[in-house]
Structure 1
Amino acid sequence: MTERTVQPPVRPRSGRRPLPPLVFLLVLALAAGAVWWTVLREDQERRAEAAEECAAAEEPPPSLDPAAVSVRVFNATDEGGLAQTVADELAARGFTISEVANDPTTREVEGAGEVRHGSPGRDAARFLGVYAPGVSFYPDTRATAVVDLVIGPEFTGVAPPEEVEAALTASEDAPAEC
């Protein structure tokens, strides 16, 4: 007689994976993603704030001798004689005025005006910008250190000597990271 061993019945596999561990892993992955998203967003905000602080605490303009700065004063407004008035004030402060005229370009000047300069005149332009508050800087391709002060419709006048002196002093509250 042959003996047969009886094997227990085998349950058929249903093909399902255990659901609770998968749900746990999915929740864990979502939580990790949310943490990384928050950390990266806060880091970007911190860097943007630091960049704004550094831009606001830009180094003061160089302190130059006004006689070494050659300026052309142009009027881009409808008010006649404004360029001559500003040129006379700058000449009284020691600047070398090389030309006074209406703006020869077709650029639309907004706000207080522009200081146009080439690469060699960058420092002279920043120095002149202290005397003309509110002007913007427009670098061009000129190869000389001559700078142009183009007076815009919102120009209020040449800065008083006290404001000029205060602006030329070094800013000590600049963040160390700049």
Structure 2
Amino acid sequence: MSVATETPPVRPRKDRRLIPPLVFLLVLALAALGVWWKVLSDASAREEAADAACATAEAAPPSLDPSTVAVRVFNATDTAGLAQTVAAELQQRGFVVEEIANDSSDREVTGPGEVRHGPAGGDAAAYLGLFLPGAGSYQDTRADARVDLVIGPEFDRLASPEEVAATLTPIASAEAAC
């Protein structure tokens, strides 16, 4: 009696194929990578949009009570009585008009007009600028918060209260989102 200690050699299985499962796993990994890429890019796009809205809200003119804004109205056109007409309309809207006169400065005013102010009147000037779209802004060295509205040669009309409100509404919603 003889004992066989040798085992027959193991033949490689020819029916086992590794390529299809590897391809499946590779496609699955690429799909997962694509999903994560989309999720992360959407999150960064939302964050960028929120940052842009907050930056817009910070740069936007404030919504003030017109009775807190002291305005001097000057006429830099050849049209007589224009400063008086504009001042009357501003008073109807609640602004405090302190002076009405012709522009005596040497500055050349172009476009619909110019809003002149000192450093303390920056917010008031930005708010008043909503009522005269297209008006330029000029900061001088005055110490008080008084603002000058200088009517220019291309002046047509002041913005309506609805137009001003329409301008301030998106700003308020942007501020709320921040």
One-letter amino acid of the structure 1 residue matched with residue 126 of structure 2: R
Distance (Å, rounded) in 2 between the aligned partners of 1:61 and 1:170: 12
The residue type equivalent to 2:116 in the other structure is: R
Counting aligned pairs with the same residue, the percent is 60
Asked if structure 2 preserves the Cα contact closer than 8 Å seen for 1:60 and 1:167, the reply is: no
User: What TM-score, normalized to structure 1?
Assistant: 0.64
Secondary structure in structure 1 of the residue aligned to 2:155: coil
1:168 Cα offset (Å): 1.6
Report the equivalent of 1:113: 113
- Whether the aligned pair in 2 keeps the contact of 1:119 and 1:139 (CA below 8 Å) is yes
1:85-123 Cα deviation digits (max 9, x unpaired) = 000000000000000000010111011110000000000
**Distance in 2 between residues matched to 1:103 and 1:165, nearest whole Å:** 29
Q: Distance in 2 between matches of 1:62 and 1:120?
A: 14
Which range is displaced more, 79-88 or 153-162? 153-162
Q: Following TM superposition, by how much is the alpha carbon of 1:146 offset from its aligned partner in structure 2, in angstroms?
A: 0.3
RMSD: 2.2
Structure 1: where are the runs of 5+ without partners?
1-52
Name the SS for the 2:130 alignment partner: helix
The superposition leaves residues 7-51 of structure 1 with CA deviations (integer Å, 9 ceiling, x where unpaired) of xxxxxxxxxxxxxxxxxxxxxxxxxxxxxxxxxxxxxxxxxxxxx
Contact 1:61 1:126 in 2 (8 A): yes
Alignment pair present for 1:66 and 2:82: no
Structure 2 spans left out of the alignment, 5+ residues: 1-51
Deviant stretches of 4+, over 2 Å? 56-60, 169-174
Deviations 1:143-168 (A, max 9, x none): 00000000000011110111010112
Of 70-79 and 162-171, more deviation after overlay is shown by: 162-171
| Equivalent residue letter for 2:114 | E
1:142 is displaced (CA, Å) by 0.3
Tell me the distance in 2 between the aligned counterparts of 1:124 and 1:168: 14
For 1:156, the equivalent position in structure 2 comes to: 156
CA distance in 1, matches of 2:161, 2:142: 30
Partner of 1:123: 123
TM-score, with structure 2 as normaliser: 0.64
For residues 93 and 60 of structure 1, the distance between their equivalents in structure 2, rounded to whole angstroms, comes to 21
- 1:72-151 equivalences under 5 Å are 72-151=72-151
